[in-house]
Amino acid sequence: MLTYVVRRLLYGVLTFFGITIAIFVLVHSVPGDPVSFYIGSHGMGALSHAALDEIRREHHLDQPIPQQYGWWLRGIVTFDFGTSFINHRPVTALIAEKLPSTFMLNLVAFLVAALIGVPIGLWSATRSGRTSERASGVAFFLLYSLPSFWVALLLMQLFSVHFHILPLFGMTSDDYLDRGLTSKVADRAMHLILPVVTLAYAQMAIYARFSKSALTEVIRQDFITTARAKGATSAAVLWHHALRNALIPLITLLGLTLPYLVSGSVIVEEIFQWDGIGRLYFDAISTRDYPTILGLSVATAVATLFASLLADILYAVADPRIRLEGK
């Protein structure tokens, strides 16, 4: 098991450096640089060339790309992601400021989606082919197909503008700082409802269909028939024999979902003014704020690597055969 983990870790480190090169080259090959953004957003006449040169010099933009990469890599291995072109704040501080909001929103959405979606999926696997299962399949497909920005606007119109029962946007109320602890928690929960629903409904549909098909696959196999033939109750068959074998595809899905906890969702964060990583990313890209784009890309890449490492370890826990192969 240990060699398995160490080997996965080494692959992870190599992949990380590959990713940094890819990100760096990609970001720098997009036409337009932060300085031309400055020129574009400031009216005629007010441009000081001395100031623009100073910006280029400070951020090493006047040097060849390989050297710029060197400067940047030297920074990130010491956890110095540089400072934003736009607001002169350290990128690490920006990420640290936005990360908790994004993490909280996506974690709640993930839990809601998984805790509702997976049981429904397992339930429908046991009644595969029946009308109720078919109907739920169609319903989930419809849910999955609804564009989230549209659903978000409908939810806002209904619950915030028409009925006035939920806040329209933001993470907290105006008087949040003056409230007591319970009231603060309640306020946060109220603000979470609409964005969580917007994020969770499509995810829930995916979880339901995914776990349904995973379990259906297993149920069809011979050892399940054997277990039934032994006289085990259908609940016992499901819990002891089928479920564990259906876990592998679910772990894969988990590994794919975890990076979203860090990377955030641009659309939902923008509509609900959720002050998280998604909005930061979007703003940074539209202003060509290289240090912020690069810092966020690295953070997301690390999260993805970590999630796939975690998934690899969980595979080994769930399925002893994978452990043996690793040796």
Minimum gap (Å) between residue 156 Cβ and another protein: 6
Minimum distance from residue 157 beta carbon to another protein (Å): 7
Does 32 bind another protein (CB under 8 A)? Our answer is yes
Indicate whether 154 belongs to the interface with another protein (CB under 8 A).
no
Site track for another protein across 275-294, x = CB under 8 A: x---x---x--x-x------
- Minimum gap (Å) between residue 164 Cβ and another protein: 7
Kindly tell me which of 16 and 176 has the beta carbon lying closer to another protein.
Answer: 176
Q: Which residue has the tokens 């400021």?
A: 97
Select the span of 8-16, 117-125, 129-137, 162-170 touching another protein (CB under 8 A): 162-170
Q: Which residues pair with 83 in a beta bridge?
A: 90
42-61: contacts with another protein (CB under 8 A): 42-55, 58
Find out whether 223 and 241 touch, Cβ atoms under 8 Å.
yes
Q: Which stretch binds another protein (CB under 8 A): 18-26, 86-94, 220-228, 290-298?
A: 86-94
Examine residue 150 and tell whether it contacts another protein (CB under 8 A): no
Quick check: 104 binds another protein (CB under 8 A)? no
Residues 6 or more apart whose CB falls under 8 angstroms from that of 294 comprise: 23, 24, 27, 72, 81, 82, 91
Euclidean distance between CA atoms 100 and 277, whole angstroms: 9
Residue with Cβ nearer another protein (157 or 221): 157
Query: Is position 148 an interface residue for another protein (rule: CB under 8 A)?
Result: no
Q: Contact between 187 and another protein (CB under 8 A)?
A: no
User: How many whole angstroms separate alpha carbon 167 and alpha carbon 193?
Assistant: 9
Q: Closest Cα partner for 195 from 149, 240, 161? A: 149
- Is 99 among the residues that bind another protein (CB under 8 A)? no
d(CA 172, CA 191): 6
Alpha-carbon torsion, ordered 104, 196, 318, 141, to 10 deg: -160
Q: Contacting another protein (CB under 8 A), which of 4, 72, 98, 261?
A: 98
Does the footprint of another protein cover residue 163 (CB under 8 A)? no
Task: Give the separation between CA 24 and CA 18, rounded to whole angstroms.
Answer: 10
Residue from 67, 157, 183, 226 in contact with another protein (CB under 8 A): 157
Least Å from the CB of residue 282 to another protein? 9
Supply the minimum distance, in Å, between the C-beta of residue 115 and another protein. 29
Give the closest residue to 120 by CA, choosing from 201, 195, 194, 185. 201
Nearest-approach distance from CB 287 to another protein, in angstroms = 9
**Residue at token pair 């060197």:** 70
Q: State the number of CA atoms in the 13 A half-sphere of 156 facing the CB.
A: 15
Closest to 314 (Cα-Cα) out of 185, 231, 111, 306: 306
Q: Would you count residue 191 as binding another protein (CB under 8 A)?
A: no
Q: Which residue has the tokens 């370890």?
A: 313
Rounded to whole angstroms, the Cα distance separating 322 from 327 reads: 9
Total residues in contact with another protein, by rule CB under 8 A: 54
Nearest CA-CA partner of 249 in 241, 257, 237: 257
Does 127 contact another protein by CB under 8 A?
Answer: no
Contact call for residues 215 and 122 (beta carbons, < 8 A): yes
Contact with another protein (CB under 8 A): which of 31, 64, 180, 320?
Answer: 31
**Residues near another protein (CB under 8 A):** 30-33, 36-55, 58, 83, 86-90, 97-98, 153, 156-157, 160-161, 164, 168-172, 174, 270-273, 275, 279, 283, 286, 288
